[in-house]
Amino acid sequence: MKAFIILIGALLLCSFGLLSPDTSFRDQQKKQARVKAAYTEKWEQLKKDMVSKNISPEGFELFIRAFKQDEVLEVWLKSKNETTFKLFKKYEICSSSGVLGPKRKQGDGQVPEGFYQIAVFNPYSSYHLSLGINYPNASDKIIGKGNLGGDIMIHGSCVTIGCIPLTDTFIKEVYILAVEAKHSGQTSIPVHIFPTRLNEKGMKFLQDEYEGKTILLNFWKNLQPGFIYFENNHKLPKVNTDKSGQYVFN
């Protein structure tokens, strides 16, 4: 039954022009009007910006990092022949909902915090273009309770309930960078979402503001090694989840 459902889903994607055995993912995406327009408007300048930072537009990997308190989303890139990422651009998160802390149930208005991946490319989004993350991840499923919700997106426009809006102008850039990274062979595009920068200053801020909230502070302490590893090395940590839902870093 499961195999039948997957087959029907693939046939439907083909019928809507999203999947074809004879066409690359990038080509299929560029057939969609909004993606095509984004390439026309943004791609040439993005390539020039990459070259200026010694990043190859012909083959690169993408990493996205967001900070809720700072209201900023960072895009990091690395050429395929490089071992470390370079900060490429920063984008303002133009609206937010909820408070600092993870998302634990549907309808709480929270933006998730933790270690995720891009799971969805939506060229038909109600918010121009959107990239969906794989919330709830393994940790969320263990720690969260009841209906955890879903459909958490990095998207256009400037309204949100639990998502990360960048405006239509800037989602065009992030979206086509993600398309190009996937086209280059990147099978997993990581997205790390933090309450703030989890350095010494950031942790002190959280400890002062959330004194006595042990569960929340312990959650952020669990995120910190992943943040610190990337800060120190500009390489992605290997992230796993233990039976209690805690993140484990190798």
Reported as a single tens digit per residue, the pLDDT across 100-145 is 999 999 999 999 999 999 999 999 999 999 999 999 999 999 999 8
From 14, 128, 158, 163, the catalytic residue: 163
User: What are the structure tokens assigned to 26, written together?
Assistant: 């990038």
Active site (annotated) includes residue 155? yes
Task: Give me the residue spans of the domains in the chain.
Answer: 17-197
pTM of the model: 0.90
DSSP 18-40: S--TTS-HHHHHHTSHHHHHHII
In this prediction, residues 56-63 reach a mean pLDDT of 97
- Residue-level pLDDT at 92: 98
According to the model, what pLDDT value does residue 22 have?
56
pLDDT at residue 21 tops 70? no
Alpha-carbon distances of 186 from 7, 66, 162, 230, 236, rounded to whole Å = 24, 20, 26, 18, 13
pLDDT at position 145 is 84
CATH superfamily of the domain spanning 17-197: L,D-transpeptidase catalytic domain-like (2.40.440.10)
Q: Got the DSSP string for 100-168? A: SS---STTS-PPP-EEEEEEEEETT-TTSSEEEE--S-HHHHHH--S------EEESSS--SSSEE--H
How distant is the alpha carbon of residue 10 from its chain centre? 24
Neighbours of 186 (CB within 10 A): 18
Tell me the C-alpha distance between 209 and 220, whole Å: 13
- 155, 158, 183, 192: the catalytic one is 155
Please say if 163 is a catalytic residue.
Answer: yes
